[in-house]
Each structure stands twice: as structure tokens, then as C-alpha cells.
Amino acid sequence: SKTSRLYQRLVMKDQIASSVSASYYPLEIAGLFFIDADAKPGVDPAQLEAVIDEEIARFQKDGPSTDELLRARVASEASFVRGAERIGGFGGKADILAECATYTGRPDCYKTTLAALRSASNASLKATAKQILVPAHYTLTVLPVADYQATTTAAPDRSSGVPKIQAFPDLQFPALQRGHLKNGIEVVLAERHEVPLVQVQVLFDAGYAADQGRKLGTASFAMAMLDEGSKTRDALAIAARAEALGANLSASSTLDTSALNLSTLKDQLSPALDLFADVLLNPRFDGNEIKRVQGQWLASIAQEKTDPSALARRVLPPLLYGADHAYAVPGTGSGTEASISALTTADLFAFHHDWIRPDAARILVVGDTGLAEIVSALDQRFGAWQPPTSARPQKQLPEVALPTAPRVFLMDKPNAEQSTIFAGHLLPTSTAPERLLTNTAISALGGQFSARLNMNLREDKHWAYGAYAFAGDALGQRSLSAW
């Protein structure tokens, strides 16, 4: 996380890495402890390793502070609860019980783990760090432009066919409840009381299409900058407060929507909503933070251009919609090197003023709460929020005529050993009556591993590593992609 020692040192302070993380995998005979760091362009990986070693030595000497210990404890417990919200999957109920039964013979061994977490101290963590974080470690450095050679293995035995499905369970969804805040924002709630979690999303009519007339990537970048500082908290203070509450804050954008998301434990809902509202309503858009994030963003764009599928998603929309359409933007939403480098504090505040407004918002809530409770809590934070006097911007989404004949475009990669074929076509809007039928057809064509494209091109003919089809949602014509 942003508040971790490694992130603060390598990413925030020294700015020699674009990301860093530490993780531990407990296994039956021995566990695995990993530290992963992505060096920024031009940085010697040995420099990263030296700084990591410094921080490990400092932790072994001093141990965690009281605040660090509290944040780690709350974050770990919150992560456990979020996993237990699911039945299956990694960290789900089945996984928790099966892992405990396999390794200890006690399906409820997670209780012992939680007890150990709650009793951890500065002294015990220092001792553990000295025991496991020893100099005799293995360092793997992965450099770009390596010359890899493909290998082949024997085909698996599929003579018995796929397992037959005997019965399908009935789908049961919670009933949607609706309410409104004092300023008219609609609240949609789906109650779920299985675990003490509440998920909140404030959804705006914005998205990549709101970049029209602005620097490309503005919408995604502005949303990503929300938790990088408010008027009263800097980025680290926001991250520290979220960790202390066991809350997760995140921002996201799609073609037509931008959103700020909150996941919090039920007993921390009130203070988590305070932080959530502060981040959404009071952005700082600090110039120094913008510069730091721009560096990470530019590295991400460069990486997109090395991946054939990501590169195709960048160039396909203008070819499908035409250069002047609101959807004629890189399909990744990340903008261009020139547009991101040119973004300023004023640009981000202008986007926030025009698009992040109550008359363009809807609040979606899922979890352990009731309609009256959540509407009251949201009213206290957002009920007095008023839109600016200027009219809401309107996206220009004219109908695009379909081409009369197929067109082929080549992105030449000299000396490339493999090729990617990416096909695109325009479909009616997501609001069209036939949307569900169209989605079902696309799913059967290429929406999953067992769909026709993949089974034909990969499993039968062995011509491709995989083949899929996907159609994103859109208020205007949406695009169908197959690759």
C-alpha cells in the first residue's frame, strides 16, 4: 500500500520504482516471502535491491510503529472478511475451510490465525523479521527484450470429454431498493447481510467519452488523482486513514462512466464515508503529485504499446467511430504521452467541476445495511452538495454509418515472430431491446474459454493461444471486438 515503508521509500521518496509489494504464502513445509519491485526506466535493478535491503534492516532493528501495527492488523482482518463474503475462489469460505482442514486437520484453524494477528507486537514482529528475512535469499531480475524460445509438451488426454452438468441452481438476487438524497441523487441498495461489509459506488455520467474537447486521458487521470490528496489530507494520510479503518478506496472509468468506490466493514461505515466524501468533494490535484503520477502513467502507456492486444485497443476506436466522435479515444482510457504530459492542475479541476457533479450522479450500495440507514448516512455527507450553475456537458454521440466493405489496417512490427489479429464492428447501443440476446450470442461466439472461437482456433486447429470476442457497454453504438 502507499503507506508501506517500501512504497514510501522507493516510489514516493526516491522515485526509483513504479510499484513495489511484499507478500507471504504460507505452505505446509515452508512458506514463501516475496518482495516485487518494478524499476522505473533507466534505473539499475541493483539500486532497488540495495534500498530494499536498507528498509529490511531498518525494520529488523526498529520493528513496526504502533500506528503501522494497527493499520496492518485492521487491513488483514478486513481482507479476511472480504474473502469470506464469497463461497468459492481464493480466500472464499470453501478455500478457508479446505486449507485449514488440509494443513492442520481443523477446518476452523483460521480462528488461531486471527488470534495470532491480534496478539502480534513490535517485539514479536522484529523477531520474526530477523528469523525469515535473512541475507540468503534468491533474487530474480527480469529484463525486457529477452530472446525466449517456445517449447511444446504432450497434449492432455481429453478422450472422456468434459464433465456433464447435472443441474443448474436457481438464481436468487436481492431486491433493489431505491431512495433519494435531499439534493435529488438516487440511491440504489441491494441488501446482503451474510458478512459485515458495505460497498458504495458513486457513479457519474462521464468516462473516456468526456475527454472530447479535452486532453485525452483526462477523465481516467482525474479520477485516479482523487485519492492522491484532498484539501485536508495528502496521499499518504488518505491511505493511512483508509488502512486504519480497513477500508478500500478506488476510482474507475469506462467509456461512459466514472466512479469512486468504497468497500468498508460495517462497524466502520460512518468514518469510512467521511473519508470517502472528503476524497470525492475536496480534491487537491497537487502539482507535485500530478508530476509523480504522470511518470507512472507514461510508463503504463509505453507498456500498452508493447502488448499487441492493448495496442489494438488503443488504435481501434478512432478507426471504427471516426476521428471526431466522442468514442474515438484510446480504448484503454489512458490517453497519449503528449496529452498526459500536458495535464495540469487546472485541467483536472475543470473536469471535476464539469462532470463530477450531483446532477450527473447515482449512488449504488451493496451490503450489510438498510435503505433508511444508508440514505441518512449518505445525506449527511452528500445531501448539501449542489451542482454548479453551468449546464451539464453533453456528449456528442452521432450515429456512425457502417462501412460498405471490410477494411484492413496493419501495425508493422519488424522481426516480430508472432501476429495478433484484432477485428472490430459497431453494434447498437446497450439500451437497445435486443441487448440481452446480442450479449448471449457474443458469449457463445467468444465470451469464454469453451466458446466457439477458442474451441475452434485453439483447441481444434492449434492456430492460436486463445481467441475471444467482447462487446463493451455504451450509451451510443458499442463496439464488438474479436481477437
Give per-residue pLDDT as tens, 345-373: 999 999 999 999 999 999 999 999 999 99
User: 5-132 sits in which CATH class?
Assistant: alpha beta
Average pLDDT over the chain reads 92
Domain 5-132 matches domain 176-382 at the CATH topology level: yes
Give mean pLDDT, residues 422-442. 95
Residue 82: burial class (beta carbons within 10 Å; 0-12, 13-18, 19+)? middle
- The percentage of the chain sitting over the pLDDT mark of 90, rounded to a whole number, equals 74
Residue 48: burial class (beta carbons within 10 Å; 0-12, 13-18, 19+)? buried
Give mean pLDDT, residues 312-324. 94
- The percentage of the chain sitting over the pLDDT mark of 70, rounded to a whole number, equals 98
Under the banding of pLDDT at 50, 70 and 90, the label for residue 11 is very high
Measure the CA angle with vertex 65, ends 283 and 272; round to 5°: 35
pLDDT per residue as tens digits for the range 115-174: 998 999 999 998 998 988 888 888 999 887 655 566 666 777 778 888 888 888 888 888
pLDDT confidence of residue 156: 72
pLDDT per residue as tens digits for the range 270-294: 999 999 999 999 999 999 999 999 9
pLDDT confidence of residue 14: 92
Give mean pLDDT, residues 254-263. 97
pLDDT confidence of residue 87: 87
pLDDT confidence of residue 146: 57
Distance of CA 67 to the CA centre of its chain: 27
Q: Is residue 229 over pLDDT 60?
A: yes
pLDDT confidence of residue 79: 87
pLDDT confidence of residue 75: 86
Q: Is residue 386 over pLDDT 80?
A: yes
Q: What is the distance between the terminal CA atoms of the chain, rounded to a whole angstrom? A: 35
Under the banding of pLDDT at 50, 70 and 90, the label for residue 89 is confident
pLDDT confidence of residue 313: 93
Under the banding of pLDDT at 50, 70 and 90, the label for residue 448 is very high
**CA R_g for the chain:** 25
Task: Supply 425's cell numbers.
Answer: 464492428
All structural domains of the chain with their residue ranges = 5-132, 176-382, 423-482
Give mean pLDDT, residues 10-23. 92
Q: Whats the size of the chain, residue-wise?
A: 483
H/E element holding 124? Answer: helix 122-132
One-letter amino acid for residue 440 of the chain: T
pLDDT per residue as tens digits for the range 168-224: 888 888 899 999 999 999 999 999 998 999 999 999 999 999 999 999 999 999 999
SS3 391: coil
> What is the reported pTM?
0.73
Residue for cell digits 536498507?
54
Contacts with 214 (C-beta within 8 Å, 6 or more apart), sequence order: 347, 350, 351
**Phi and psi torsions of 470, nearest 5°:** -155, 140
Q: How many CB atoms lie within 10 A of CB 426?
A: 19
220 vs 73, higher pLDDT? 220
SS3 273: helix
**In CATH, which of 3.40.50.720, 3.40.190.10, 3.90.79.10, 3.30.830.10 is domain 176-382?**
3.30.830.10
pLDDT confidence of residue 149: 62
Under the banding of pLDDT at 50, 70 and 90, the label for residue 28 is confident
Lowest mean pLDDT among 24-33, 115-124, 402-411: 24-33
145 vs 79, higher pLDDT? 79
